[in-house]
């Protein structure tokens, strides 16, 4: 069922504290932590605590938390001091687009001078 924890989901395990992560921010509905394999000097993920497979499912199931992902992305960008130099927000959706963890998340990428433009 949408929103329910999935026992085989990596990010549900991070939310549950079963897998460690470097957590930067937390709200009732969201968790923000560093990506384990950073692609930029700052590479952070913002996720809903509830399980939705992708951003579209999250937006349909809980629009308030979907909006909060963007608020938290902006807040962590300010915390990381990457606003002035600029940053990218990316929602990979579907395996064909490179999504590997099927729990909604937005990548916050910044702090570099040569951020790769999406193809």
Q: Which of 51, 62, 76, 105 binds Zn ion (CB under 5 A)?
A: 51
Q: Which of 9, 10, 56, 89 binds ligand 5GP (CB under 6 A)?
A: 10
Region near Zn ion per CB under 5 A, out of 3-11, 26-34, 76-84, 90-98: 3-11
How far apart are alpha carbons 93 and 99 in whole angstroms? Answer: 6
Of 78, 89, 87, 90, the closest CA to residue 41 belongs to: 87
Q: Is 17 exposed, middle or buried (0-12, 13-18, 19+ CB in 10 A)?
A: exposed
Q: In what order do the strands lie in the sheet with 23-26?
A: 23-26, 30-34, 42-48, 106-110, 87-90
- Residue 116 token pair: 């790769």
Residue 35 binds ligand 5GP (CB under 6 A): yes
Residue 101 binds ligand 5GP (CB under 6 A): yes
Residue 92 binds ligand 5GP (CB under 6 A): yes
State the minimum distance, in angstroms, from the CB of residue 13 to ligand 5GP.
8
Residue 12 binds Zn ion (CB under 5 A): yes
**So which residues are the catalytic ones?**
105
């Amino acid at each position: 069922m949408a929103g329910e924890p999935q026992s085989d989901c990596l990010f549900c395990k991070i939310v549950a504290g079963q897998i460690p992560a470097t957590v930067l921010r937390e709200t009732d509905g969201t968790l923000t932590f560093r990506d384990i394999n950073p692609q930029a000097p700052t590479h952070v993920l913002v996720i809903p605590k509830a399980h939705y497979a992708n951003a579209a499912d999250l937006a349909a199931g809980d629009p308030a938390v979907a909006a909060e992902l963007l608020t938290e992305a902006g807040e962590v960008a300010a915390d990381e001091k990457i606003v002035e130099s600029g940053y990218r927000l990316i929602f990979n959706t579907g395996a064909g687009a490179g999504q590997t963890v099927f729990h909604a998340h937005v990548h916050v990428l910044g702090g570099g001078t040569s951020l790769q433009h999406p193809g």
